[in-house]
Structure 1
Amino acid sequence: MDDELHQVRISASHATATLALDGRDISKQVRGYQLSQAAGAPPVLVLQMSQLVKDDFEGLARVVIGDPPDPGPAAAAFLAAIDAGELERQVLARHDLMDGGPNELTRAMLRLLQEWARGEWKREVADGVPQ
């Protein structure tokens, strides 16, 4: 592994970014990146290379190939922390539960779990006022 640090420039604008490594634009070869730094250590840039790249890349770089994380363990931990009674109470109180479609209870539970996973959870108290 090359231990030499390389010049990295990232110019991000909304949903797009320009990435340059040692002055060479590699933006079209990269589908994603993650930049992190631990205290007292140099930054680490993880590049997720595009599967559509046909160009060659030549040069020295400290390379870390990033694989998307497996969502299974995080999903299992999230679901294990769910209070079944609270889930049932919240779903039965939803305005979109009674749509008459097939599997409406299951669909409402899945929508609520998605909202909770995104941090959009609001517990209702007995008088209907959010807590």
Structure 2
Amino acid sequence: MFLEYGDSRSHSFPPSIMQQTVPRVDPNAAILQELIAAQKREFDEFKQTVLTYLPRRANRVVPHAVMPFTAWLNIVLIPTRFILPQFTQYNGIDNPHKHLKEFLAQMTITTNDMEIYAKTFPNSLTGMYWIGIWIFQ
């Protein structure tokens, strides 16, 4: 005999069993937590190694005349196969909000790493004067 959907006889379990809930446990949760912890340890070791080789003043903001970034952004490595997308450069006359929107749209296609966005943004500006104005603002 086949039971149809919605037939009351299809629920042959006692109500006490139907009301019990079984907690869902992800069998990979512990493994994932271990992997994340290992990656954090490796990253901390890498960061400590890099900061050891940087000059003492690397923990402060480096003067804008030397480098327009903080020390942390200076040690961010751009991947070797990263290709900067083509976009119109901002010349100080056009709409800066439009330029920023276009820059983010083009960069989103390539990567979603905000550190790479920050490090490559000066390449979207023309003229050292405008780079200086943008950075100091």
- TM (norm. structure 2) is 0.18
Higher helix share: 2
- TM (norm. structure 1) is 0.19
Higher strand share: 1
Which has the larger Rg? Answer: 2
**Structure with the greater relative contact order (CA < 8 A, sep ≥ 6): 1 or 2?**
2
